[in-house]
Amino acid sequence: MFKCKSKSMYSLKGSSFLKLLLGIYVVLLPIGTGLAGIIGSISFMNYISALIIVIGLMVVFSCRKVVINRDVFPSMMYFFYTVLSVIWAVNPQFNWYIATNLINGILFVVLNCVKWSEEDFDRLNICLIISQIIVFFVVIRNLSTLFVYRLSITVVSTIGISDFACGLCLLIAFWMQEVNDTKSRFRRIISYLFIAFDFGIIIMAGSRGASVMFACMIVAWIVMGNYSRKVKLISISVIIIGFFLFENYFVNLLPATITSRMNVEAVVNSRGSGRFNLWSLAWEKFKASNFFRMFFGYGFDTFAEAIAYGGHGGHIDMMAHNVVFQTMIEGGIIGLVLLIGMMISQFRMAQKNNDGLMKIAITGLFVASLSIDMQVTRIWGFILTLNCIRSVMKKNNLYNNSLE
């Protein structure tokens, strides 16, 4: 269990400031750069990330003893392995992508050395609500861009619209959990409205990855909920019928650029917008690799250079759009084993702590990662890290309460 044996006034003040910074970070999460790191484009979110790490490390160093939670260890190993891969990368460079993974790994350490109370959980939930309000006004402000191509968002720092849409899935998971937890009919109605609103943004953004993530989260929400088998079957049937109606009737009511992206037939005819070609090239490259590259990969953030797939479908600035193929090329067999270990440990941790929010979000993320532009941490910075922190917080509370 992660324990921090120190009750100094400095440690307590540092922990309080750390929680305040995390709250600010969560408020800006869907519209910021995620865990963009200290390296790369400078933005307000970068400064917050840096402050969280600096204060967090000071809190850690003030502890007399730190014990690593075995459920968190696989995630830390994966993120730190990606940083080490710079050493043997085909084109070594410490860019924002590598810095992001370094920060993710450090955050797993520093945020687990702090004792979190139920009041702290409530404050994080309030921060998510504030974030939702900010998203509402940001979307209204940028609504005119929808009629030019598709919804575009430029606020706080410039991010891709698909990243923005996938970040909204964290908010959707929160509202799903709110529906399950609240006994107030008014709060339940508000939660349903925000789920519908955020899903509408995902559609208007034309983000197929976020749409897949949302669909998986809906199914996970129903299957993992405390509903009867009859209710679950009816709900899933309604979803299937709704998808059929959307694809055959309602999708044609959207702007043409969005229709071409969201129509299943059009996606299949384009071979997944080049995805199938990329995956085929990645597999051939993996089989042709020497022993070292097969086991250790070509280094993270080197997929385009390793495959050299310009002209084979897709754009040269794209990644693999599949976490398995991308990790297989960039991290090799070792990276793939660490990734799978992280996935299993994350879900086991959510299962142990009965953390519905994490189970919903993580299920959607893992399934969607088979088709998302996997510069992995842009999406995982939105969802995986925060939910892991939430789950470990709960486990820390259970441990600390057992000592009292």
pLDDT value at 313 more than 50: no
Lowest mean pLDDT among 48-52, 61-65, 151-155, 369-373: 151-155
More confident residue, 16 or 159: 16
CA-to-CA distance for 304 and 332, rounded, in angstroms?
Answer: 15
At residue 279, the 3 state secondary structure works out as helix
Do residues 395 and 353 lie in contact, with contact meaning Cβ atoms separated by under 8 Å?
yes
Domain range annotation of the chain: 9-226+274-403
Category of 301 on φ-ψ map: left (φ > 0), alpha (ψ -120 to 50) or beta: left
pLDDT at 102: 74
Find the helix packing angle between 118-141 and 185-204, rounded to 10°.
50
Digit-coded pLDDT (tens) for 7-42: 444 444 556 777 777 777 667 666 654 333 333 444
71 pLDDT tier (thresholds 50, 70, 90): confident
Furthest-apart CA atoms within the chain: distance in Å: 64
- What is the model's pLDDT at position 86? 83
C-alpha–C-alpha distance, residues 201 and 196, integer Å: 9
Q: What percent of the chain has pLDDT over 70?
A: 59
pLDDT at 337: 92
Q: Stretch 187-214: mean pLDDT, rounded? A: 83
How large a percentage of the chain has pLDDT more than 90? 2
Residue 199 above 80 pLDDT? yes
In the predicted structure, residue 274 carries a pLDDT above the cut 70: no
Task: Please state, rounded to an integer, the average pLDDT across all residues of the chain.
Answer: 71
The pLDDT of 319-337, averaged and rounded, is 85
- Is the separation of the CB atoms in 169 and 364 below 8 Å? yes
Tell me the C-alpha to C-alpha distance, in Å, between residue 55 and each of 1, 52, 159, 314: 22, 5, 26, 42
Which residues, including other chains, have CB under 8 Å from residue 13's CB and lie 6 or more apart? none
Question: Which tops the pLDDT comparison, 263 or 54?
Answer: 54
Answer whether 15's CB lies under 8 Å from 79's CB. Answer: no
pLDDT computed for residue 30 by the predictor:
61
pLDDT band at 128 (very low <50, low <70, confident <90, very high): confident
Which residue type, as a one-letter code, is found at position 211?
S
Q: What is the pTM for the complete model shown?
A: 0.75
* Per-residue pLDDT band at 201 (split at 50, 70, 90): confident
Is residue 108 packed enough to be buried (19+ CB in 10 Å), middle (13-18) or exposed (0-12)? buried
**Exposed e or buried b per residue across 172-187, where buried means at least 16 C-beta atoms within 10 angstroms of its C-beta:** bbbbbbbbbeeeeeee
Handedness of CA 314, 319, 325, 328 (dihedral sign): positive
- Is pLDDT at 286 greater than 80 in this prediction? yes
Of the listed ranges 38-42, 137-141, 249-253, 271-275, the least confidently predicted one is 38-42
**2: pLDDT confidence band, cut at 50, 70 and 90?**
very low
